[in-house]
Amino acid sequence: MFSFIKGNLAEIYEDSLIVEAGGIGYQVQVPLSVLPQVSVGEEVTLYTCLQIRDDAVSLYGFLSRDDQSLFRLLIGVSGIGPKGALGILSVISPDDLRFAVLADDAKTIARAPGVGIKTARKVILELKDKLKLEDAFELKQAHAEAQTVSAHEDPRGEAVQALTALGYSASEAMKAVRKIKNTDEMTTEEILKAALKTMALF
């Protein structure tokens, strides 16, 4: 029903965004990896997937078509619902997920919250025939080139990565970075220093 939503980012929550489009605020659940890449007030485009159940109607969103496509593949795996798919995409990049499936690397997939080895093996079993090694290499190369060009444009994401490398959880790192104002005018180092000061006050 919805292919994407483009609008003003009105609010950011722990696991979702409120995007205002056409005078309507859409609550879109997203992977945790999306949160440090967006700011309230900016225009965003989220590629979406609508899930309708007897007890709920939920909208899931992603910053790329690639993430959207993998989400749809994951929710097609028996035993993996939308929350499980979001959990996997929160901690494993699309490129790493493809290679983990093709390499029978259940341990990497099992890093996702709520995903055990048995479930990870099921993901591999059901997705392996749907992925091609040639495509995985081509997509990884394309993403690497894009990141090289735009790395300087995402200092918030780099700061989050630096904090997690220092031992903080992804959730703690994102909370600290999101508390900092005017990050668009700051370098990665400045954001990192400000975040560390904020975390000292937790």
What pLDDT digit, counting tens, does each position of 69-114 carry? 999 999 999 889 999 999 999 999 888 899 999 999 999 999 888 8
Give the model's confidence band at 170: pLDDT under 50 very low, under 70 low, under 90 confident, else very high: low
Query: Which tokens go with 164?
Result: 């997690």
Residues 115 and 101: beta-carbon distance below 8 Å = no
For residue 152, the model assigns a pLDDT of 46
**0.85 cut: is pTM over it?**
no
CA distance 75 to 85: 6
The larger pLDDT score, comparing residue 196 to residue 2, is at: 196
Q: pLDDT exceeding 70 applies to what percent of the chain?
A: 90
Quote the DSSP letter at residue 60: E
Least confident of 50-64, 136-150, 183-197: 136-150
For residue 149, the model assigns a pLDDT of 38
Whether residue 151 has pLDDT greater than 70: no
